[in-house]
Chain A
Amino acid sequence: MDSEYLLEVSGLTTKIDNQEILHGVNLRIQPGETHVIFGPNGSGKTTLMMTIMGFPKYRVTKGSILFKGKDITHLPLDERARLGIGISMQRPPIIRGVKTRDMVSACLKKEGGSEIIEKLAEKANLIDFLDRDINHGFSGGEIKRSELLQLLAQAPEISLLDEPESGVDLENIALIGELINNLLQKIHPIRKRIHSGLIISHTGHILEYVNARTGYVMCNGRIVCEGDPHDILNTIKEKGYQECVSCLRR
């Protein structure tokens, strides 16, 4: 790797259609680190993630995205995925006729077939969903687990997780946490971890299950605060995002 950072986002400005959503976002993640982004609805968190992943609707007009030192700002979506970027979407589409098993199988880079798939599905408590159409009739929690199941098979170097705990009942949130820890190799000491994570969290609940090194607050398409994620969360809980917005004005 040419850079000490796995992911470097610099001055990122993104437009959807003709509307600018992100206005010069910066963040850097080293291998093995987990970062969390907080922010109110409509602040640009999902746009940031989709831009990093490379969805064509999200058009970069300024700035750059480097992954493992390579400029991927204008690289197609699928090439980014194959380079080692993975995403867990908040509302993934239903694809009729495409089974969960087909998706997991497509994510597996190595041969290994059904045994690995079943093992991973068992871990995600989704054995009964393998032969169902992907996301069809899945509950909120099942969608999140299915997204994480696919990422576990894909094993990306960086996982972009968009609100992994939203719509998940309390019983299942621990399992979601466990799957994320698995994905981000939390079992290893940080210096031995290769996989990194960038997590969007609206409520911060996930921090009860997954440790993160850095937290950000995003407001109006800008990162307005960076620091210890628990400190940030406590401030938000006490004073709300309004404090962050006024902080931006100062």
Chain B
Amino acid sequence: MSKKVTNSYKEKARTAENKKAAIGDDIDLSLYESSFAQEATYVDTKNISRKDKGQMLSAGVMLDDLSQRSGTFVQMDNRPIHSSIRQEGIEIMATSQAVAKYEWLKDYWWQAVAVDDDKYTAHVELHQSNGYFIRALPGAKTVYPVQACLYLNKIGSIQDVHNIIIAEEGSELHIITGCTTAFKKEPGLHLGVSEFYIKKDAKVTFTMIHSWTPQIGVRPRTGAIIEKNGLFLSNYVIMKPVKSLQLYPAAKCIGENATVRFNTVMVAPPNSKMDIGSRVFLDAIGARTEIVSRAITTGGNIIARGYIDGSKPDVKGHLECRGLIMGDSGTIHAIPELKGTLAGVDLSHEAAVGKIAEEEVEYLMARGLTRNEATAAIIRGFLKVDIVGLPPMLNTEMQKAIADSEKELF
């Protein structure tokens, strides 16, 4: 990418350096150590410590056996440390390498997310962030998912990430991203920009598992642009404590019959603050979306947002948000929003927040389950989101990640 192009983004970023985000608590970036992106130094996954690999596994990233993955990328703090490909037609590299390799990347750079959106996007740009570049060439279809891990390892620091995902025409790409940290109690901040470009007839499933600890701040910024007949299926799971997390990805359907599905499963333990939502702009004839979220608080605070904007004929969108409050503290604030600007759009939502229905617990107890077993079965069912279009293997892995974390709930 030419210097002229990058400079114009830096200039824009500088104007937003102190711009607070529209929603979510403001994080004082000066409390953390900022550093510039470091050059990729690739190692074999065998050379990654057992402890780190164990932690990465908790976020769904398997490094001991790569045979079930089409490719793998690992970034520790701001340095990419592993990148490998096992399937033709798929490209994986650090974004810094992709920028150097492909002049055309300027056509994608900061196109799905605005560089001056807030101080977090600005920080990512101004620190020449690395991250992953994943691309499926036209017609290429991943047999196994591509996995990526973003690992926060340096206490008190900011991890800046800028990911670009491109699914060329007719391709199919499945991605698992695990974001986690080596810390137990220490502070850290993860800033992650992800831009998805899903071309005509392409399909992307993106499953992101966050496994943080109580002093970590997290501000992901995600945008997706979906062309004609394209499909973007995004699954997000967070079931571990986090100090403050705010994300509100936006997907724009710009091609006829483009489809987006967002599934979110979140569990907020005490002292965790999560402000999580999904936005979809149905900006092309026949575009479709479904946003489903399941929220449980065991004492933490959750804001569960959803927004669908229908502005073209024959678009259809549904938003479903359900929340369970377990115990005596914690809040769930559901904010579902629909905006139609045309007659004939079909938008709907349903939202429910409450405790576990006693009637359901008793029904299971009448079959011989103890109260605890009945409660566990209901919660397990509550968190079971039926995901249409997710390959069975990925679905199994996602359900396993949920089941593993579930045990800590009871």
Contact = CB atoms under 8 A, between A and B. Distances in A.
B380 interface: yes
Interface in B340-369: 357, 359-360, 362-369
Interface stretch (A96-104, A137-145, A215-223): A96-104
Interface string A39-56: 000000000000001011
B293 to A, nearest CB: 13
B381 A97 contact: yes
B371 interface: yes
A95 B365 contact: no
A13 interface: no
A87 B370 CA distance: 16
**How extensive is the interface on chain A, given as a class?**
20 to 34
Residue from A77, A82, A92, A107 whose CB has the most chain B CB atoms within 10 Å: A77
Nearest to A83: B368
Contacts of A106: 364, 367-369, 373, 377
Contact of B381 (A55, A102, A107, A109): A102
B379 to A, nearest CB: 9
Contact of B365 (A81, A89, A99, A133): A81
A78 B381 contact: no
Given A97-B382, A97-B383, A87 B377 contact: no
Given A55-B362, A89-B363, A97-B383, A78 B371 contact: yes
Contacts of B81: none
Interface in A86-119: 86-87, 89, 92-93, 95-99, 102-103, 106-107, 109
B384 interface: yes
Interface in A45-91: 53, 55-56, 76-78, 81-82, 86-87, 89
A133 B369 CA distance: 18
B1 interface: no
B171 to A, nearest CB: 31
B367 A103 contact: yes
Say what secondary structure dominates the interface of chain B: helix
A78 B357 CA distance: 17
Given A56-B362, A95-B360, A78 B378 contact: no
Contacts of A107: 367-368
Contacts of B322: 96
Given A81-B366, A95-B378, 18 more contacts: A77-B365, A78-B365, A78-B374, A81-B368, A89-B363, A92-B363, A93-B360, A96-B322, A96-B381, A96-B382, A97-B382, A97-B384, A98-B377, A98-B381, A102-B377, A102-B381, A109-B368, A154-B367
B341 to A, nearest CB: 32
Contacts of B374: 78
A78 B363 CA distance: 10
A109 B382 CA distance: 24
Given A97-B383, A98-B378, A106-B377, A82 B368 contact: yes
A150 interface: yes
Contact of A154 (B360, B362, B365, B368): B368
A12 to B, nearest CB: 19
8 contacts: A55-B366, A78-B370, A95-B363, A97-B381, A97-B383, A98-B380, A106-B364, A150-B367
Contacts of B357: 93
A56 B370 CA distance: 14
A93 B363 contact: yes
Q: Which 6 A-B pairs have the closest CB atoms?
A: A97-B381, A98-B381, A81-B368, A78-B365, A97-B384, A77-B365
From A78, A81, A106, A133, name the one whose CB has the most chain B CB atoms within 10 angstroms.
A78
Nearest to A150: B367
A54 B357 CA distance: 17
Contacts of B383: 97
B155 to A, nearest CB: 39
A105 to B, nearest CB: 10
Contacts of A76: 365
Most A C-beta atoms less than 10 A away, residue of B363, B370, B381: B363
A92 B301 CA distance: 32
B32 to A, nearest CB: 39
A53 B381 contact: no
B368 A78 contact: yes
A53 B377 contact: no
B169 to A, nearest CB: 35
Given A93-B357, A103-B367, A107-B367, A77 B380 contact: no
A244 B28 CA distance: 78
Nearest to A88: B366
Contacts of B369: 78, 106
